[in-house]
Amino acid sequence: SQTIHQWPATLVQPVGSPLSLECTVEGTSNPNLYWYRQAAGRGLQLLFYSVGIGQISSEVPQNLSASRPQDRQFILSSKKLLLSDSGFYLCAWTGVGQGTFGYTFGSGTRLTVV
């Protein structure tokens, strides 16, 4: 069965520090991968998605970047965090062409920038 792992679960970082959040998927190949952010009391916002290794699409301009160095690995990064980067970050995957096209989300990372 397919599983999605996301870490760390919680992170407190000072303003100006770097960030690296990792997401990996098991039990499938060539997944579509996504990074979402949920600000306090608000809905989910799509940040990045990837349809293959090295292919990254950005939905909104921001202080963050994403990379996909391997088929089932998706990394969210920042060189210098801002207070406004605080939020709940969720990774998700879906298998396009596998019939169901359902999305599966990871357990999330709570990021607090102080």
Partner 1 sequence: KQEVTQIPAALSVPEGENLVLNCSFTDSAIYNLQWFRQDPGKGLTSLLLIQSSQREQTSGRLNASLDKSSGRSTLYIAASQPGDSATYLCVPTAGGTSYGKLTFGQGTILTVHP
For binding to partner 1 (CB under 8 A), which residues are involved? Answer: 6, 32, 42-44, 46, 88, 90, 92, 94, 96, 100-108, 110
Select 32 or 78, whichever has its Cβ closest to partner 1.
32
CB closer to partner 1, 11 vs 105: 105
Residue 101 CB, shortest distance to partner 1, in Å, is: 6
**Shortest distance, CB of residue 16 to partner 1, whole angstroms?**
26
- Tokens matching residue 20: 């690296």
Instruction: Give phi and psi for 99, each to the nearest 5.
Output: 100, -50
What are the distances in angstroms from CA 18 to CA 13, 35, 76? 8, 17, 11
Q: How far is the CB of 93 from partner 1 (least distance, A)?
A: 12
16 vs 26 by CB, closer to partner 1:
26
Neighbours of 50 (CB within 10 A): 21
Which residue's structure tokens are 């088929």? 71
55 contacts 32 by C-beta, under 8 angstroms: no
